[in-house]
Structure 1
Amino acid sequence: MEQTEKVVNANTSFRVKTRRGLLTPKNVPYFFIGPAFLLIMIFTVYPVISSFILSFQEVRGVEKSFVGLANYTRLFQDPIFYKSLLNTFQILIVQVPIMLLLSLLIAVGLHSSMLKGKAFFRISYFMPAITALVAASIVFMILLDENFGLVNYFLSLFGVNSIPWLTTPFWAKVSVILVMTWRWAGYNMVIFLAGLQNIPSDLYEAASIDGASKVKQFFMITIPQLKPVFIFTVVMSTIGTLQLFDEPFILTGGGPNNATMTITVYLYQAGFKFFDFGYASAIAYVLVIITAIISWIQMKLVGDE
């Protein structure tokens, strides 16, 4: 009995001390989120603020000097920046619609009740999204080689002349678009497939009773019901394309003749090839502003409350 009273008194004393100290019931959640918050501040917030300040500075070795808006003024007078911006938008305008249309068609096909082995096909189409991009790009470099590539070999069987996939401006852009579509079509297919599975089957049954064909059902039921999915995939694909780096950097290095030089490839070259970190930071923040504006316009055009 005495031992029980001692335990109760000890617990009561601990609760009193706890409430008077830092570890109060109100503060307990902050102890759990504290480490994550600290990591975010160190590895996200601090670099963002630091790079913003750096965009107003000139870096020479270890010395930094404030130059005001000189980096931004130089940026808007730089023909290579405008070239990289044009290349990025050309790829965006062509690749995103093709990829999303292909993703939608694949998702509709895999959603069909007539298809057997759905799990196998879903995994197969999604695999490129989890494949190491460097390895995949190297494989595509071998496949698209002008002289010894497997793609040109198969085309030659049909009498098509060898195509300089990676050495001419037009075909280099086509190559980047092909690799991007191969990689991300399956990823967006999964998102569309999730949207299709959430459409009530009653809608299709009612449409069938009213005599609507499969094509009419697709345009009158499937497409409107997938509007939120379209908004999400369009915005995310646009942001991803504006940040396009890996494919052009590995496949062509931004060439030939800057034909595949995207904004992020140019940013990388300015920062880590020429060590002009102030100018690279200015490019990064202009890219952030462009991405935010385009995303806002897209949400206003196709989004709703």
Structure 2
Amino acid sequence: MAHPTGRAARPQEAAPTAPPRAPRGPRLRRGATPWLFLAAPLLLLIVFTYAPVANMVAYSFTDWDGVSPELNYTGAGNYAELLTRPALFEVFFVSGYYLAASVLQIALALYFATVLSFNVRFRNFFKGVLFFPYLINGVAIGFVFLHFFQDGGTLDSVLRLLGVHTDRPWLGTPVSANVSLAGVSVWRYLGLNFVLFLGAIQSVPGELYEAAELDGANRRQQFRHIIAPGIRPVLSLSVILSVSGSLSAFEVPFIMTGGATGTETFVIQTVKLAFQFNKTGLASASAVVLLLIILAVTWVQRRLVPDDRVDLV
């Protein structure tokens, strides 16, 4: 039929139709598939992490001795006793040695990771040497360094060969013992931070280094403007791990000194409360306090140094 204006009428375009909706059964199966894969890890996480933490919090409000089937509710009495114990605050001074050692550890790990990220001779060999201590069991490390620091042990023998004669008891005074133990922690965990930093540095695009070399930038300038901004998230993670590790140091000081000579840490004190003095309720409260302190420190650190997205390109 002719259009009133004299032009042929266009056929009306059909309205777009919505795609047919999938049947209800396949949609339910598609939505349930991710939860099927997550079921096993979530079950393990609940059984071996969240359930024990919940039990620990519950025990912290009781006077349970860890053996008797009977336990009495004491309210916040355990927490009040902890906050009025002078020994609780003394162990935090011991953690200060490990915190200072973690600063040195991060600095050394960052230095070695930066140097070995460039083409140097035997860099694979040095990578293995730096990471190897982290693979050793903590108990074995404790026994090795117990002989290393004992009177007439390895350290005294090496110093004697170098002409240095000393009668210092390395584990005999609080200061020297804590410095020695903190030094062992630096040697042990240096490899972990080294690997984290090395991976972060190698994830930076190589074109940035090539452009910097063409512009005449030296190694120090490349570190300041390329490497340091690129590894900021990993550096933040290392700080969190170092702070939490300083507060929860246990294996090496427990094996080497057992907490004697002023080397008792927060975790060693908690273990003694539970298994030596049979005060599991008080030990549970101590563990809850440590957990809250670590969470608070982590929250403050994340607020002060937010994990911003870094764009180097």
Give me the TM-score of the superposition, normalised by structure 2: 0.83
The yes-or-no answer on 1:44 pairing with 2:49 is: yes
Give the deviation of 1:163 after TM superposition.
Answer: 2.5
Q: Which SS does the other structure have where 1:233 is aligned?
A: helix
Larger radius of gyration: 2
The ranges of structure 1 where at least 4 consecutive aligned residues each deviate by more than 4 angstroms after the TM superposition are 23-32
Give structure 1 stretches of 5+ with no counterpart: 1-18
- The whole-number CA distance in structure 1 between the counterparts of 2:234 and 2:226 is 14
Q: Which SS does the other structure have where 2:90 is aligned?
A: helix
Q: Deviations over 1:68-115 (max 9, x none)?
A: 1100000011011111122113321x11110001111111222121x2
Give the deviation of 1:222 after TM superposition.
Answer: 1.9
Give the deviation of 1:280 after TM superposition.
Answer: 0.5
The correspondence of residues 104-119 of structure 1 with structure 2, limited to 5 A, is: 104-113=110-119, 115-119=120-124
* 1:221–1:25 CA distance, 2 compared to 1 (3 A): closer
Choose which of 251, 254, 258 in structure 2 pairs with 1:249.
254
Amino acid at match of 2:192: Y
Give structure 2 stretches of 5+ with no counterpart: 1-24, 309-313
The equivalent of 1:183 in structure 2 is: 188
* 1:222–1:36 CA distance, 2 compared to 1 (3 A): closer
Structure that is richer in helix per residue: 1
- The whole-number CA distance in structure 1 between the counterparts of 2:89 and 2:256 is 21
Give the deviation of 1:31 after TM superposition.
Answer: 4.6
Choose which of 276, 279, 284 in structure 2 pairs with 1:281.
284
Give the deviation of 1:291 after TM superposition.
Answer: 0.5
- The CA RMSD measured in Å over matched residues stands at 2.1
CA contact (8 A) 1:111 1:196 kept: yes
- The whole-number CA distance in structure 1 between the counterparts of 2:281 and 2:165 is 48
- The whole-number CA distance in structure 2 between the counterparts of 1:208 and 1:250 is 50
* 1:220–1:33 CA distance, 2 compared to 1 (3 A): closer
CA contact (8 A) 2:233 2:307 kept: no
Q: Percent identity?
A: 33
The equivalent of 2:81 in structure 1 is: 74
* 1:248–1:53 CA distance, 2 compared to 1 (3 A): same
Amino acid at match of 1:255: A
Give the deviation of 1:26 after TM superposition.
Answer: 4.7
- The whole-number CA distance in structure 1 between the counterparts of 2:47 and 2:207 is 51
The equivalent of 1:34 in structure 2 is: 39
The yes-or-no answer on 1:303 pairing with 2:309 is: no
* 1:38–1:227 CA distance, 2 compared to 1 (3 A): closer
The equivalent of 1:102 in structure 2 is: 108
The equivalent of 1:162 in structure 2 is: 167
Q: Which moved more, 1:65-74 or 1:221-230?
A: 221-230
Choose which of 215, 218, 230 in structure 1 pairs with 2:220.
215
- The whole-number CA distance in structure 2 between the counterparts of 1:135 and 1:298 is 33
* 1:204–1:30 CA distance, 2 compared to 1 (3 A): closer
Q: Which SS does the other structure have where 1:71 is aligned?
A: helix
Q: Which SS does the other structure have where 1:59 is aligned?
A: coil
Q: Deviations over 1:128-168 (max 9, x none)?
A: 1111111111011011112x211111112322413311121
Give the deviation of 1:208 after TM superposition.
Answer: 3.1
Give the deviation of 1:224 after TM superposition.
Answer: 2.0
CA contact (8 A) 2:98 2:185 kept: no
Q: Deviations over 1:200-231 (max 9, x none)?
A: 23333333333333222222322222211211
Give me the TM-score of the superposition, normalised by structure 1: 0.85
Amino acid at match of 1:107: A
The yes-or-no answer on 1:231 pairing with 2:226 is: no
Q: Which SS does the other structure have where 1:275 is aligned?
A: coil
Give the deviation of 1:234 after TM superposition.
Answer: 0.9
The yes-or-no answer on 1:194 pairing with 2:199 is: yes
The equivalent of 1:127 in structure 2 is: 132
